[in-house]
Amino acid sequence: MRNDSWVVEVGEANAEWLATESRTARLAREYRPVNLGDGRVAFSARALGASRELGEEEDGYITDDAEGIRVWIGEDAFELELAEDSHV
């Protein structure tokens, strides 16, 4: 599970924002979301944990419930999918 990451399609503007402007984008590399291009972002296990620490009012907030893992930007939720053994 150490190399697992979660990928989400959020659109190009949101992907750029998550990777460069969000509060977690300012953390050490292993805690930052990675812009994969084409509107997709990858979260390592550590980046996912860091994003879970954000408050509900902050963009980039993560929820994890029976419906899945989602990242919230404004009023929009985007579902993350597990991408096993990636190198993010």
* Domain coordinates in residue numbering, the chain: 5-83
Q: What share of the chain is helix, strand, coil (3-state, %, to 5)?
A: 25, 35, 35
SS3 8: strand
Q: Summarize the confidence of residues 4-31 as an average pLDDT.
A: 96
3-state secondary structure of 12: helix
Distance CA 2, CA 69 (A): 18
Query: What's the mean pLDDT in 51-69?
Result: 93
Which tens digits make up the pLDDT trace of 72-82? 999 999 999 99
The enclosing H or E element of 52 equals: helix 45-52
58, two tokens: 């902050």
